Chain A
Amino acid sequence: MNTAVPAQTQAADRREYALRLGDNALILGQRLSEWCGHGPFLEEDIALTNLSLDLIGQAQLLLDLAASQVPDDPFSDADKLAYLRDAHQFRNALLVEQPNGDFAHTILRQYLMDVHDEKLYSALASSQWPALADIARKVLKEIRYHKQHSGDWLHRLGQGTEESHARLQKALDDLWFYTPELFESDALNQRLQEAGVAPDMADIERQWRSEVEPAIQQAGLRLPESGWRATGGKKGHHSEHLGYILAEMQFLQRAYPGCEW
């Protein structure tokens, strides 16, 4: 790993930012893994678990990066961060911890995240933080492939049968108000943006909207009216769903600390 760090950034800020990125990948990857053996048909079962594997690989790179910022961090590697933190220490957006629901819910959530990830990591590829830029350029190739898959399904389900269309519209109505949180910018984002480490999230949101909104219309769906919006993940305020995810994901390390195989 390139250990050079950008001037004028604090180790704690870099750790926190890498956690936000890594936790989004980890929790979405863990959610997708629940489809293993439950996919609507064999090929899609394999596809969803392949997506899961890529995301967990990405999480490992990002969480190792987070773990290496602060000297004597008690969470000294990706495994400790994934398996030993409590829910309030996770920094993922609420969207990725939402239950899978039906296939339409899973695919829609995936599409919304794939476009977000593509725009964000494209910007991070020129980050002033070399280790993060390296990871961004590596994972972008995987993210673009994921987006082709979820984008195709968005169209197929939206323009498919009455049933598939209705389910996809329901998913959109349920999940749309979790998306503003993805683009929230707080003091940490501002500091890292000034240091050239992270992009302007308003710009990422514009790019995301200009791709997602036409795609939703072309799928024959209607955007939900503005209303409530979910927030809190970056501060560690999660829905009750995260606790259940961690209970399953962390069971082994909690029951048998340090176990390896």
Chain B
Amino acid sequence: MTTAQDTGTRQRPDAATVRRWLAVVTDPEIPVLSLEDLGVLRDIHWQDDTLMVVISPTYTGCPAMDRMRADIEATLRAKGVEKLHIREQLQPPWTTDWITGKGLAALQAYGIAPPRRSGEVRCPQCGSANTTLISRFGSTACKAMHKCEDCLEPFDHFKCH
């Protein structure tokens, strides 16, 4: 346990270091996506002696957001960060356009069709674009259910938002 005086003199990790630490924090409902890949992590900076982490909520009622906040806090506390403030920022609203290329590829590999700007929904199993919507809503707020008409497999689609 360090005292307040110790933290004052200890070197503060820069934003890039904090981002690296947070790479282990993932979406609890889609564990192959880190917060960075999901586009939720908006900003990291120091305000006086407090580390500010700014995140954008995905869906307003998404229960995973609470878990992500708790995981960010636990990760940074374990790295010795004492003064921490996690702020939710609504503007600009989160969009699936912020999911990184690495995140889109991870979704595909995990069996979830990634959101495409073209609106096309391709089967993550066989790659066919011959797919139909089963339901606009799925097991989490961010997903819809589709079916492949070629390989006949049902699959989740990460909705464009």
Contacts and interface: CB of A to CB of B under 8 A. Distances in A.
Nearest to A53: B61
Contacts of B137: 43, 46-47, 50-51, 149
A24 to B, nearest CB: 14
A137 B134 contact: no
Contact of A54 (B90, B138, B141, B145): B141
A56 interface: yes
Given A46-B135, A50-B137, A137 B62 contact: no
A53 B135 CA distance: 17
A5 interface: no
Interface string B126-161: 000000001111110100010000000000000101
A138 B136 contact: no
A13 B60 CA distance: 25
Nearest to A51: B137
Contacts of A58: 60-61
A135 interface: yes
A225 B128 CA distance: 51
Give the size category of B's interface with A: 20 to 34
Contacts of A53: 59, 61-63, 141
A60 B60 contact: yes
B61 A57 contact: yes
A113 to B, nearest CB: 16
B133 to A, nearest CB: 10
Contacts of B3: none
Main DSSP-derived SS at the B contact region: loop
A149 B138 CA distance: 13
A43 B61 contact: no
B17 interface: no
B91 interface: yes
A142 interface: yes
B93 interface: yes
A134 interface: yes
A3 to B, nearest CB: 12
Contacts of A138: 57, 60, 90-91, 93
A251 to B, nearest CB: 21
B61 A54 contact: yes
Contact of B135 (A2, A47, A139): A47
Nearest to B92: A137
Interface string A3-27: 0000000000000000000000000
Interface in A128-150: 134-135, 137-139, 141-142, 145, 148-149
A246 interface: no
27 contacts: A2-B91, A43-B134, A43-B135, A43-B137, A46-B135, A46-B137, A47-B136, A47-B137, A50-B138, A53-B141, A54-B61, A55-B61, A57-B59, A60-B60, A60-B61, A134-B90, A134-B91, A137-B90, A137-B92, A137-B93, A138-B57, A138-B90, A138-B93, A142-B59, A145-B136, A145-B159, A148-B136
A218 to B, nearest CB: 20
Nearest to B95: A141
B60 A57 contact: yes
Given A50-B137, A53-B63, 12 more contacts: A46-B137, A46-B138, A50-B141, A51-B137, A57-B59, A57-B62, A61-B90, A138-B57, A138-B90, A145-B159, A145-B161, A149-B137
